[in-house]
């Protein structure tokens, strides 16, 4: 079985690389969802005309949804928990976040929103939990999710691949302090002004830093988060960038 999985993984990677190559070579215009993805494409495909590659990210809305009945439903209180919203897969580093959190003594919970599948990775997460770690499963009611996002003490973002991540933008739109995996994509979005970790020990240190912040610094970080959405990563701006790009090809 492991041999079959290994071969399938190899074939899948080859198919993805081939699809990327064909897409790049056959496209009239290429849209990258972050500046770092654009840079990657220019470096990987040296014959590309950089004028035909556009950076257009995702957007988010400002969120200030507060509803105590929603928090009561999930046995939560405002500012009493750290929040993770993610697919529970290896590259999102949920295991690293759990290990880092467990090293700390804090009454604040770690709330994880994402489907716990019956696979080896998710089973390992379940085995590694303690009473302060709460798995809420998938939450598909948008209003409830907005309330939970807005009410967290800080958002922990373990995503390590890809460009501009919608979940990270939604955290910023919710005025969240962000503790993010240390990579070029997360730093691009947050302008290197948040807290970053590369392993479980660093995750512990960053969580500890946030716990020790004073009211003035907390408010400053929250204000900065929202400013990123209002100033750039909003749907009005992103839509405008799409329209301007499309006009070049009409």
Residue ranges in 103-214 assigned as alpha helix (H): 120-127, 142-151, 166-173, 184-190, 200-211
CA angle (98 as vertex; 96, 104 as ends), nearest 5? 110
- CA-nearest of 207, 218, 198, 176 to 105 is 207
DSSP assignment letter at 32: E
- Looking at residue 189, its pLDDT comes to 98
31/240 Cα distance (integer angstroms):
14
**DSSP, residue by residue, 131-155:** TTEEEEE----HHHHHHHHHH-SEE
208-223, pLDDT tens digit by residue? 999 999 999 999 999 9
pLDDT at position 31 over 90:
yes
Point out the least confidently predicted range of 5-19, 99-113, 126-140, 232-246.
5-19
pLDDT at position 97 over 90:
yes
pLDDT at position 35 over 70:
yes
Q: Rounded to two decimals, what is the model's pTM?
A: 0.92
The pair of structure tokens assigned to 19 is 């699809």
105-145, pLDDT tens digit by residue? 999 999 999 998 888 898 899 876 788 999 999 999 999 99
The model's confidence at residue 49, banded by pLDDT at 50, 70 and 90, is confident
**DSSP, residue by residue, 40-108:** HHHHH-TTS-GGGEEE----B-------HHHHHHTT--TTSEEEEES--SGGGTHHHHHHHHHTS--SS
- Looking at residue 51, its pLDDT comes to 86
- CA-nearest of 117, 116, 207, 122 to 157 is 207
Q: Give the HSE-up count for residue 11: Cα atoms under 13 Å, Cβ half-sphere.
A: 6
């Amino acid at each position: 079985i492991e041999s079959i999985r290994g071969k399938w993984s190899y074939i899948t990677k080859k198919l993805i690389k081939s699809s990327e190559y064909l897409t790049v070579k056959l496209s009239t215009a290429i849209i990258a969802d972050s500046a770092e993805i654009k840079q990657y494409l220019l470096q990987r495909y040296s014959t590309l005309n950089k004028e035909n590659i556009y950076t257009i990210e995702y957007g988010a809305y400002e969120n200030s949804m507060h509803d105590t009945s929603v928090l009561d439903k999930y046995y939560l209180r405002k500012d009493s928990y750290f929040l993770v919203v993610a697919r529970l897969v290896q590259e999102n580093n949920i295991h690293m976040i759990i290990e880092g959190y467990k090293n700390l003594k804090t009454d604040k919970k770690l709330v994880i929103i994402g489907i716990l599948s019956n696979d080896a990775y998710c089973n390992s997460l379940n085995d590694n939990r303690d009473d302060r770690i709460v798995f809420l499963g998938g939450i598909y009611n948008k209003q409830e999710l907005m309330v939970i996002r807005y009410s967290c003490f800080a958002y922990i973002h373990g995503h390590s691949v890809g460009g501009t991540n919608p979940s990270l933008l939604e955290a910023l739109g919710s005025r969240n302090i962000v503790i993010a995996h240390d990579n070029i994509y997360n730093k691009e979005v947050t302008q290197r002004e948040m807290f970053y970790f590369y392993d479980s020990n660093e995750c512990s240190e960053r969580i500890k830093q946030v716990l020790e912040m004073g009211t003035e610094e907390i408010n400053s970080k929250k204000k900065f988060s929202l400013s990123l959405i209002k100033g750039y990563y909003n749907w009005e701006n992103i839509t405008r960038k799409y329209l301007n790009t499309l006009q070049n090809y009409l």
